[in-house]
A = this chain, B = another copy of it.
Amino acid sequence: MLVTRSKPISEQVNVILRRRIGNGVYAPGQRLPSESELANEFGVSRATIRTVLAKLAVEGLILRKQGDGTYVNKRIEEVNTHLGGLWDFAHLIVRSGFEVKIEALEISTVKATEEDALALALDAGEELLLMKRLFFADDKPVILANNLVPLSLLATPIEEVNGQLQIHKILRRYFHQEIAFVTTEIFSSLAGEEAKVLALSPQDSLLKLTTRFYSKENQPIIIGDNYLNDKILKPRLVQAWS
């Protein structure tokens, strides 16, 4: 059944179950086969099945009831941001049902301000790579993302950087950095000078998300100020009660 040994078995099972839920093989509200049945079907131990189901449960995709069974969450379709999606804007836009397009408005170098330097754990005046990127949902501009990375981390010529990729791919490809965790601060703010590019009037309110990405070594890799037109794109997240 599971011939490819390249990926962990649990990962393969995870993908299969996700697909079945997405396809409606397991319809919303329906009960899944029991852990033992799934273990049998895939020819794995029950423990392996349980690690997979645990992951789906924390995302809110399934609901588990002791003594009863495992059910597909009916509300999951209404949600565009499960855990770990609030900084991946392309993903957020797609999950909201729009076509996504990313335009790199500017990729240049700047000197770190005091504040930047503090956040990135280096000295003021050091050179940073600035990326201004605009995200479109069905050709309407919805997110302006301004990111700063220490230029010293850049592993390729600056001209090669493709600003249309997802941020974690940019970090992996051009900076050889892997993200361990992200902190996001959520504000409301008035559109101000970001209004123009987002096609808003200056007195409109919008969401501001301040993100910081860190490596496993606790080193800050990239920081960002992101402005989101929440009239078009409404971040909606699920959180499982544990």
- Chain B residues with CB under 8 A of A185: 234-236
Mark contacts of A198-242 with chain B using CB atoms, 8 A cut-off: 1 yes-contact digit, 0 otherwise: 000001011110001010101000000000001000111111111
Would you call A78 an interface residue if the criterion is a C-beta within 8 Å of the partner chain's C-beta atoms? yes
A212 CA / B168 CA spacing, docked (Å): 31
Extra contacts besides A63-B181, A184-B237, A185-B235 (16): CB < 8 Å: A29-B218, A47-B47, A63-B218, A79-B183, A83-B83, A87-B239, A168-B241, A179-B241, A181-B240, A182-B241, A183-B236, A184-B236, A186-B186, A186-B235, A187-B188, A188-B188
A239-B205 Cα distance, complex, nearest whole Å: 26
Q: Which residues of chain A from 165 to 188 have a CB within 8 Å of any chain B CB?
A: 168, 178-188
Name the residue among A71, A179, A185 with the largest chain B CB count within 10 angstroms.
Answer: A185
Tell me the nearest residue of chain B to A51, going by C-beta: B54
Copies assembled? 2
Taking a contact as CB atoms under 8 Å apart, the answer to whether B73 and A218 are in contact is yes
A86 at the interface (CB under 8 A from B): yes
* A157 close to chain B: CB less than 8 A: no
Inter-chain contacts of A230 with B (CB < 8 A): 186-188
Cβ 8 A contact of A234, one of B187, B212, B235, B236: B187
A5 in contact (CB, < 8 A)? no
- Tell me if A91 is interfacial: C-beta within 8 Å of chain B: no
In Å, the complex CA distance between A184 and B29 comes to 21
Report yes or no: A183 in contact with B63, Cβ–Cβ below 8 A: no
Residue A108 at the B interface, CB < 8 A? no
Does A84 interact with chain B (Cβ within 8 Å)?
Answer: yes
Residues of A in contact, count (CB < 8 Å)? 49
Residues in B with CB closer than 8 Å to A218 are 29, 63, 71, 73-75
Residue A189 interfacial (CB < 8 Å): yes
List 23 interface pairs A-B (beta carbons < 8 Å), by A numbering: A29-B218, A58-B58, A63-B180, A63-B216, A65-B216, A73-B181, A74-B218, A75-B212, A75-B218, A84-B240, A84-B242, A86-B237, A86-B239, A87-B239, A179-B241, A181-B238, A183-B238, A186-B230, A186-B236, A186-B237, A187-B207, A188-B189, A188-B230
